[in-house]
Amino acid sequence: MSEERRLEVLRAIVEDYVATREPVGSRVLTERHGLGVSPATIRNDMAALEEAGYIAQPHTSAGRIPTDKGYRLFVDRLAEVRPLSTPQKRAIETFLSEAVDLDDVLTRAGRLIAQLTGQVAVVQYPSLRRSGLRHLELVPVGDDRLLVVVITDTGRVEQRFLDVSPAGDAEPLVLDDGLLGELRARLNAAAAGKRLDQLPDAFAQVAEGVEPRVAPLARLVAETVVDTLGEENEERIVLAGTANLARAGMRFEQGLRPVLEALEEQVVLLGLLTEMAGDPVAVRIGHENGLEGLTEASVVTSGYGPSSADGGDSLAILGSIGPTRMDYPGTIASVRAVARYLSRVLPG
């Protein structure tokens, strides 16, 4: 019974500190929470929690505040995620469904998370390596140049120019609508329903099935598509709500500068998001982030993508970054909801 009561005391301390931004004393706990015990008993419980490292006393004669360890126990065992209201859910779905392209939908997702949480939102672009080919377009640009347009199943668009001038004394190909239309149709049909690792074999069969004079072009286009989808240096993220860090409630003992500098290091931030991938909702608290600038911040993330809505692998990560003194239940609910709706509106 004592352990359960101490956990309830910790829950009360976290909730009060998040709400008031002031250290919490035993008298306040007695007045605000029906714990059913005397202030002396609560003081003993607080002493035990402090000794175990779950709470700390920032100043002499002050109340207690949660530590990173205390927040972790709260998130893992005590936090009750509050579902969003019906109007909030409807607003999210409507706002995301009105997006016109991938850039727009990811920007809208970031704005939603920032508005719902009052913190910084981070949205990772879907990786090309985890995307499939939705459509391929071939556009002639002059007599010996070809524009290859790759549209992924997440709506991402990549363009590549190819030099198709003949080698040596070979007869040049006439890049007319008939030749390019047939090649485009064959490649799109071969790619239907296949992922990146399956495309080389599928495209090889296309090159074997066309006229010998067209085969080199088919192989060149196929190689370009596979290389484009296999690129690793295209990763980028959307940040929204950084101005929220300047609000009165966003208090960092070391100041805002380390946090802002950490957010500017997008490669490092992407590495952190990648480490957090795999769980439906992941939470890193303070020093768990492993980044000097985020030792006073917490990061809540969730994966998104067409398959993640059905419990499959996610294509990318989105999340919220704020002080360790954040509303964890509210943040988790908001991040999870936006990820789910984003997964539904993405083409798949």
* DSSP character string of 19-66: HH-S-B-HHHHHHHS---S-HHHHHHHHHHHHHTTSEE-SSTT--BEE
Entry pTM? 0.77
- pLDDT at site 182: 92
pLDDT tens per residue, range 69-81: 999 999 999 888 8
Collapsing DSSP to helix, strand or coil, 316 comes out as: strand
Of 29-43, 104-118, 144-158, 166-180, minimum mean pLDDT range? 166-180
pLDDT at residue 165 is higher than 90? no
pLDDT tens per residue, range 102-123: 889 999 999 999 999 999 999 9
Say if CB 213 and CB 173 are below 8 A apart. yes
Collapsing DSSP to helix, strand or coil, 314 comes out as: coil
Question: What domains lie within the chain, and their CATH numbers?
Answer: 2-78 (1.10.10.10), 86-126+235-345 (3.30.450.40), 130-229 (3.30.390.60)
Distance CA 56, CA 64 (A): 5
Distance CA 243, CA 240 (A): 8
Predicted confidence band of residue 266 (pLDDT cuts 50, 70, 90): confident
pLDDT at residue 307 is higher than 80? no
Among residues 84, 89, 23, 126, the alpha carbon closest in space to that of 331 is found at 84
Residue 199's CB: how many other CB atoms inside 10 A? 20
- DSSP symbol at 346: S
Mean pLDDT of the chain: 86
Tokens of 45: 């419980």
Q: How far is the CA of 319 from the CAs of 32, 100, 246, 304, in angstroms?
A: 32, 22, 19, 10
User: Would you give the distance in Å from CA 93 to the centre of its chain?
Assistant: 18
CA Rg, the chain, in Å? 27
Tokens of 311: 């419990």
Q: What angle do CA 247, 251, 255 make, to 5 degrees?
A: 105
The continuous run of DSSP H or E covering 144 comes out as none
Distance CA 343, CA 224 (A): 28
- pLDDT at site 157: 83
- pLDDT at site 347: 61
Say if CB 224 and CB 160 are below 8 A apart. yes
Collapsing DSSP to helix, strand or coil, 321 comes out as: strand
Q: How far is the CA of 112 from the CAs of 122, 173, 335, 342, in angstroms?
A: 11, 50, 9, 11
pLDDT tens per residue, range 14-57: 999 999 888 998 888 888 887 888 888 888 999 999 999 999 98
